[in-house]
Amino acid sequence: MISVSTQSITETTRVMSRMHVIVHGGAGRFYPERSLNKIDPMSEAVEAAWEELVKGKPAEFAVVAALRIMEGDEHFNAGYGGYPNANGIVLQDIGLMRGSREFVSLLNVRRITYPSSVALDMMRDGRSLMSVWTHELMQQADAADEFIKERYGWVDSHDKLLSPHVLEMLARNQVEVGSSGGSHGTVGCVVCDSSGFFAAGTSTGGVNAKENGRIGDTPIVGSGVFADNEICALSTTGHGETLLLGLLSGFIVSNIRTELRKDANAFRHRPSLMEEILDQEFSELSRKAPDKGGGLIVIPRGGMPRYQCNSEMISIGYRTGTRNSVAESDSFIHLKTGEKVRRIEDLNQ
Ligand code: GLY
């Protein structure tokens, strides 16, 4: 009896130590009050993802559980709270990918609060799809039954996704045209589930006052979102065109793959390795584009969740299994100075 229960505790510990969740709520300029408003929903998002993993759900379900919390919260530039385009319409982009190498990317989604749920429902084994939000998809959503409308947070007019918070920022001229950050950021989540499989998702309203039809990096596989069970999973936030031009995610994935080919346990053997890769690639991004950029979250195969940015701040929440089976959890705003801010009082010290 005793040996069976010891064995099952050891197994639980082993499984738990594989589970990791990391979310970002955007990177950019640091506006204290606005940034701090994101900490509670980010913590909630991490817990929602973790609950899915504890239930034994696949990684992509956990990713979407986290994204939904942030898409539904007006303090993030996604779903309800997304920035409007030049015509005043909230047009959203979502990329969802799982490590078995399937993705669904939807571009210019309209009148939907939770694009991540639509992407999850469109995910199929052995198929990938990148699609604009066609007239047919919009008609299907309009004709869907109440359960689906509620699940997707369907609204009958564009203005219902424009939150008071966004309208106030726009009225006060607090958002630059062409900015997706300004501390009101794109959201993302990266997960490693109890089987050791990855998924990643990124959801955004894009840059403020974007040209109608403009697409950033978010739904582009290998840029705004990526997952491959043999390599890593990642999600970005920031100025899409700069991240695309710099091929930031591509270089990071390539570095990780090179290290794993040399040593399959490279990220376990050298816990600082992921940081070294991120430091190198973000320095290169800053060299190419000194005034623009963003941030990224990543879990390498066999390693722990990590993040980096070249902007004034990145907002982060995470929960990780550890070897002692004690799950560590935290949410904070990471400033360029290295400070981690969790409460307004942290700034007055
Ligand atoms: N990174 C979000 C965008 O540029 O649309």
What is the distance between the alpha carbons of residues 51 and 53, in angstroms, rounded to a whole number?
Answer: 5
pLDDT per residue as tens digits for the range 206-253: 988 889 999 999 999 999 999 999 999 999 999 999 999 999 999 999
- Note down the domain range covering 97: 12-348
Residue 106 lies in a domain: yes
Q: How many domains does one find in the chain? A: 1
User: Do 71 and 80 form a contact (C-beta atoms < 8 A)?
Assistant: yes
**What is this structure's pTM?**
0.93
Report the pLDDT averaged over residues 294-321: 95
How far does residue 50's CA lie from ligand 1's centre (Å)? 26
| pLDDT attached to residue 325 | 54
Residue 5 covered by a domain:
no
How many angstroms does the Cα of residue 261 sit away from the middle of ligand 1?
Answer: 32
Q: How confident is the model at residue 1 (pLDDT cuts 50, 70, 90)?
A: very low
* In-domain check, residue 3: no
Q: What are phi and psi of 16, to 5 degrees?
A: -60, -35
Q: How far is the CA of 178 from the centre of ligand 1 (A)?
A: 9
Distances (CA, A) of 251 to 90, 180, 222: 31, 23, 10
Whether 94 is in the pocket of ligand 1, judged by its Cβ within 6 Å, is no
Look up the CATH number of the domain holding residue 130: 3.60.20.30
Which of 24, 83, 184, 204 to probe ligand 1 with, by most ligand atoms within 8 A of CB? 204
Structure token pair of residue 329: 């959890």
* Tens digit of each residue's pLDDT (9 = 90 or more) over 58-67: 999 999 999 9
Residue 2 has pLDDT above 50, yes or no: no
Across 22-40, average pLDDT: 91
Task: Give yes or no for residue 256 having a pLDDT over 80.
Answer: yes
Is 93's pLDDT higher than 70?
Answer: yes
Q: What is the CA radius of gyration of the chain?
A: 19
Identify the pLDDT of residue 183: 65
181 has a pLDDT exceeding 70: no
Residues 221 and 322: their CA atoms lie apart, in Å, by 30
129-132 and 102-109 strand pairing: parallel
Residue 2 lies in a domain: no
Model pLDDT, residue 33? 83
Lowest mean pLDDT among 4-8, 19-23, 150-154, 230-234: 4-8
Sole residue written with tokens 């006052």: 209
**Contact of 188 with 305, CB cutoff 8 Å:** no
Q: What's CA 251's distance to the chain center, in Å?
A: 19
Average pLDDT over residues 76-84: 94
Is 61 inside a domain boundary?
Answer: yes
Q: Is 206 in the pocket of ligand 1 (CB under 6 A)?
A: yes
- The sheet that has 187-192: what strands, in order across it? 129-132, 102-109, 92-98, 198-204, 187-192, 20-28, 313-320, 328-335, 340-341
Residue range 87-106: mean pLDDT, rounded? 96
Is residue 323 pLDDT above 80, yes or no? no
DSSP bridge partners of 238: 294
Whether 326 shows a pLDDT value over 70: the answer reads no
Mean pLDDT over residues 158-164, rounded? 93
The CA-based angle 110-48-235, given to 5 degrees, is 60
| Alpha carbon of 160 to ligand 1 centroid (Å) | 22
Work out the mean pLDDT of the chain and round it to a whole number: 91
Q: Classify residue 4: in a domain, yes or no.
A: no
Task: List, in order, residues 6 or more apart from 60 with CB less than 8 Å away.
Answer: 96, 98, 120, 123, 191, 199, 201
Task: Compute the C-alpha angle 156/162/163, nearest 5°.
Answer: 120
Segment 111-139 shows an average pLDDT of: 96
How far apart are the C-alpha atoms of 242 and 310, rounded to whole Å?
A: 12
Note whether residue 44 is domain-resident: yes
